Amino acid sequence: MSLVENLSALLADRQKDRLTIPFEILSLYLATELCSKLFSRFINRFDTRPALHQRQLSIIPPIIGFKLVIIALFLSRQPSITSSSLDASSIDELFNIINHTAIGYLFEILYRPSPPLLQGHHILLQSLTYYFILYLRFQSSYMLISQFTSIFIIFGMGLTDSFVDLMVLVYRLAPEGSEWSSFLVKLFGRGSEVARAAEWVMLCGFIVVKFQDLSANLSDFEMIGWALALALWVWTEVDDFITIRAMTSKFGIHVKH
């Protein structure tokens, strides 16, 4: 078996979580401490930042790497979002793999002091995912659920979050006057907008196309709950978008549509 197959099989086995989860937390901590030392040694602006910002910046590379590895392992078990060949057991293994992103979010919330709105955003996204995992995946519509959550995972946790984190990293550490740093801030800001737009287009398209299936498998109470949850998510997404625009403008860059 290849390394990817071995890792995905390890994360898919819930019985081994008692070993893998402590290892993941320890690895994230050590990687964050290493990034802090490297930033302090090679980037002058890092030491001029408040201790709060230093913690926020040091955690970005390990978190991005961790989440992208989990998502890559997830995709290696599910090559296509529209695949219809997976059975209930395979879906269960997929969810066991993606569960490990919660470790990254938990470590991020505990290690990196953040505004309540940002923490609420993380908790909301995770709670939406776990609502699927703990309840809906046991329903007959498990294939529909896998397709729906794949959109969140790829375009939300994967692309949008990574672009935003990279933009924050450059914004805080790169020299304001340099042309390359301005280019990177603009690039990552635009990337986050494109990824966020793609996520919403796919979500809306999926809901429209699969509306009958969704309404048939969700009760009225669940439909209302999901409408409320999505409304709260839209609010946090809009706030995140406004924050990114403010950061790029302050840096001297205006990201235009």
Burial (CB count <10 Å: 0-12, 13-18, 19+), residue 162: buried
On whether the CB atoms of residues 165 and 64 are closer than 8 A, the answer is yes
Task: Give the pLDDT confidence of 193-218 residue by residue, as tens digits.
Answer: 898 888 888 888 887 887 777 777 77
Looking at residue 88, what is its pLDDT?
64
Looking at residue 255, what is its pLDDT?
41
Kindly list the domain boundaries of the chain, sorted by start residue. Answer: 3-250
Query: CA-CA-CA-CA torsion for 226, 99, 166, 3, nearest 10 degrees?
Result: -140
Task: Give the pLDDT confidence of 120-171 residue by residue, as tens digits.
Answer: 666 666 666 566 555 555 665 666 767 777 787 788 878 888 998 898 898 8
Supply the DSSP string of 18-63, one letter for each residue: HHHHHHHHHHHHHHHHHHHHHHHHH-HHHHHS-HHHHHHHHTHHHH
Task: Give the pLDDT confidence of 64-121 residue by residue, as tens digits.
Answer: 999 899 888 888 876 554 455 566 677 777 778 877 887 887 888 788 766 676 666 6
Model pTM? 0.78
